[in-house]
Structure 1
Amino acid sequence: MTSPQTQSQPLLAVLWMMGALASFTSMAVAARELTQDLSVFQISFMRTVICLSLLMPYAYRLGWQEMKTARLKTHIGRNIIHFGGQFGWIFGVSVLPLAAVFSLEFSAPVWTAILAAIFLKEKLTRIRVISIALGFAGILVILRPGSDLMQPAAFVVIGAAVCFACTYVFTRGLAATESAFKIIFYMNLIQLPIGLVLSVPVWVTPDVEMIPFIAILGIGGITSHYSIARAMAHADAAVVSPLDFLRLPLVAVIGFMLYQEPWNPYVLIGGAITFSGNLLNIWSEQKALRKSPVPPLQATETAHERRT
């Protein structure tokens, strides 16, 4: 939760969330443009290079003693899975309508609740069960039988959402001993050699016109998380999270304007259903947080964390 002082600044939270939305949508467009000429592996590698370059100065300032970890195996396991999720997301952006990718990505918290119940023994409350049911209902609306989206690429995106959910579970365990910066730093550090090894066989030297899109993809990976963190500093998750849904109509407009992607009401409706389940769960956890001095784990997690 935010302090009373920061709760009185919802306008700042909105402005920071607008920055996050701009970052996410710009990353999607950049990935779509780059996949026309580059492999997903190479795009992931170049994104990691830029992110790591931006993080390195602060890591150097903190020093080795602050940045070293005793949980390297956990970091490696988390980020191998995260790399799979990142691959699935970029691949989905390259072949599916942007709005469909974002709608299916909203299912990540649904899978998180299921995995947390299995591996972290978190209680499946009535609200969480309803949230999960709404999540699956939204997926069914999006991927209704006979629709153009009933194709393997859509299930790759769902697989990416499951991977991101797995990383959330890993993050909960790591958060007890590791800072958020350290988790993000090791994510990029570990994924750097993975992306390099996989991209070398299919390497294509980027043209000059690709450089802005590469920069957007890398910088957006940092600015999106920073903007969300700043938004959360000025308002509770229950206030900030609904703004995340604006990504869906925004990216639908961008998809229509840049790529002539048709409007699909089922994608928007399905995404809204899935997101409503996420929002219901956040509101429930925020209510529990106000009653308890010990914050529930899921109360601090939002759909925004999908790429950390």
Structure 2
Amino acid sequence: MIATFLWMVGAILSFSLMAIAGRELSHQINTFELLFFRGLFGLIVITTIISLCDNFRHFQTQQIKGHFLRNLFHFLGQYTWFIGLGLLPLAQVFAIEFTVPFWTAIIAAIFLNECLTIRKVCAILIAFSGVLLIVQPPLDRFEGASLIVLGAAIFYACAHSGTKYLARHNHPLTILFYMCLIQTPIAGVLMLPNWTMPNAFEWSWISVVAMTALSAHFCMTKAMLTSAVTTVVTLDFLRLPLIALVGFFAYNEPFGMLSIIGSLVILIAMLINFQKATKK
């Protein structure tokens, strides 16, 4: 349990630092430029790891179309997530992001023929009610931005379903390699019309995004290997109060009672969903 907690501390700090860096860069450089450097750093690191391990077969795949489709959705998810960081309070972005498992369940049921049980449907409906409490569609001045982040959650869910499909025949390193290989040139082409050379301040935050993108997923994977999914998901939810405090003290961002209640509702839905998964 101690090992799981320590790995989750690493993951939570990594995700939070990535969000802060994204916020700091949101009005400084083009988002495509940020994604390009993030992907390039990842490509260099993953290629080096595969080469040092002498596992060159991880560069090969028979599902190149699947990789391309999966990474198209993942790229859109990253883009809209970073856009949302510049428009919404950090805690609200994280809260909406926590709906990803439920969108994934719906998409997997449609395209991967996974069973969508009554329990899962109830969890999805409960989570959606939590999102409504946080977003408050009729009154919230960030309504359009909330939809952008909700779109990011759906894009990420599509990418997760794609990962689940590709993992049947591809090593995790192969999936990561093709993620960086496909997304980096896409971001490179899209950033050209608005390219600006980053200054020292921007390079420092770009390096934070690049490093935390890898460390977050590495720590999360290690945590999954040391404990049950339910435990990991519950600990991961600690990201929300942490980023809410950062948003309050660093950016003077409000996080009202309805947002707190909505976040707790999403947490309850997540526990209902994963409790069923662990019983199978």
Give the TM-score, by structure 1 length.
0.88
Matched residue type, 2:152: A
Say yes or no: does 1:17 pair with 2:8: yes
1 CA distance for matches of 2:63 and 2:23?
35
**Matched residue pairs, number?**
279
Corresponding residue number in structure 2 for 1:245: 237
2 CA distance for matches of 1:86 and 1:167?
11
Corresponding residue number in structure 2 for 1:40: 31
Say yes or no: does 1:80 pair with 2:78: no
* SS of equivalent residue, structure 2 residue 93: helix
Asked whether the 8 Å contact 1:95–1:153 carries over to 2, the reply is yes
1 CA distance for matches of 2:61 and 2:204?
34
Deviation at 1:150, TM superposition (A): 4.7
Corresponding residue number in structure 2 for 1:7: none
Q: What residue ranges of structure 1 are gaps of 5+ in the alignment?
A: 1-9, 289-308
Deviation at 1:64, TM superposition (A): 3.4
Asked whether the 8 Å contact 1:248–1:268 carries over to 2, the reply is no
Matched residue type, 2:43: L
Corresponding residue number in structure 2 for 1:209: 201
Q: What residue ranges of structure 2 are gaps of 5+ in the alignment?
A: none
Asked whether the 8 Å contact 1:31–1:93 carries over to 2, the reply is yes
Matched residue type, 2:25: L
Deviation at 1:258, TM superposition (A): 1.1
Correspondence for 2:170 among 178, 197, 220:
178
Corresponding residue number in structure 1 for 2:45: 54
Corresponding residue number in structure 1 for 2:268: 276
Q: Give the alignment's Cα RMSD to 1 decimal.
A: 1.3
Asked whether the 8 Å contact 1:99–1:248 carries over to 2, the reply is yes
Equivalences for residues 141-180 of structure 1 within 5 A: 141-180=133-172
Matched residue type, 2:185: P
Corresponding residue number in structure 1 for 2:257: 265
Deviation at 1:228, TM superposition (A): 1.0
2 CA distance for matches of 1:234 and 1:118?
31
Matched residue type, 1:262: P
Asked whether the 8 Å contact 1:141–1:266 carries over to 2, the reply is yes
1 CA distance for matches of 2:142 and 2:125?
20
State the identity as a percent: 38
Asked whether the 8 Å contact 1:103–1:268 carries over to 2, the reply is no
Deviation at 1:173, TM superposition (A): 1.0
Equivalences for residues 93-108 of structure 1 within 5 A: 93-108=85-100
Say yes or no: does 1:116 pair with 2:97: no
Relative distance call for 1:105 and 1:264 in structure 2 (3 A) is same
Asked whether the 8 Å contact 2:87–2:142 carries over to 1, the reply is no
Say yes or no: does 1:139 pair with 2:131: yes
Relative distance call for 1:150 and 1:212 in structure 2 (3 A) is closer
Matched residue type, 2:47: M
Relative distance call for 1:145 and 1:160 in structure 2 (3 A) is closer
Give the TM-score, by structure 2 length.
0.96
Corresponding residue number in structure 1 for 2:62: 70
Matched residue type, 1:256: F
Correspondence for 1:221 among 196, 213, 217:
213
* SS of equivalent residue, structure 2 residue 86: helix
Deviation at 1:63, TM superposition (A): 4.3
